[in-house]
Amino acid sequence: MSACREPGERWLPRLVAAGWATLVLCACEERPAPVSAPPTQPPGSQWPGFEVSTPRSAARSEPGLFSGPFTEWHANGVKSGEGELVGGLRQGAWTFFHPSGVLRWRGTFERGVPVGPEEAWHENGSKQLEGTLVDGRREGIYRYWYDNGQLELEVEFRDDVRHGKCRRWSRDGVLDRSSSGVYTNGRKTGEL
């Protein structure tokens, strides 16, 4: 653990795939601690006023719980996600990225549960899905796209189960009538 920190704040170790990593981005020489920094500096590099390592995540914390801005990185050093933690749980707007840096998902959390509008994108940057979450469950109309931009699926959900009209298209835009229909509580009950 770094001895360099702001009064009343500390950096906590975090369990990562390779084991415990110590978060050492910290405040020194009367400068505030950074809330995110890409781990692109090789081990042993020096930044004036900061200790630098290659963490997979960084956060400020309250005693025992992660709270405040939180940033994670892919193993290749590209940011994988960022948002706010409150008491160790995701809170508010969050954004996630593919290893290439392309936007992957954007949405909102309340006490660690995804809620409200969500959007996702394919690795090539084209939209993958859009819809609304209620307590982490799909609700209302969801749209899904192929990576070529063609609409793949438009489906209605009730409490995360297909309920209502469902239309599916092929990659070249032809309606697939065998996969399309009307659903009631997850079961296909009619044709369109």
Looking at domain 102-190, its CATH architecture is Single Sheet (2.20)
pLDDT (0 to 100) of residue 77: 87
Contact status, residue 177 vs residue 169, Cβ threshold 8 Å? no
Whether residue 121 is predicted with pLDDT greater than 60 in this model: the reply is: yes
pLDDT (0 to 100) of residue 58: 58
Domain boundaries, the chain: 102-190
The CA-atom distances, in angstroms, between 162 and each of 78, 141, 159, 174, 182 are 36, 10, 8, 21, 9
Whether residue 29 is predicted with pLDDT greater than 80 in this model: the reply is: no
pTM: 0.69
How sure is the predictor about 59, in pLDDT bands with cuts at 50, 70 and 90?
A: low
What is the distance between the alpha carbons of residues 11 and 51, in angstroms, rounded to a whole number? 12
The per-residue pLDDT for range 82-92, each reduced to its tens digit, is 999 988 899 99
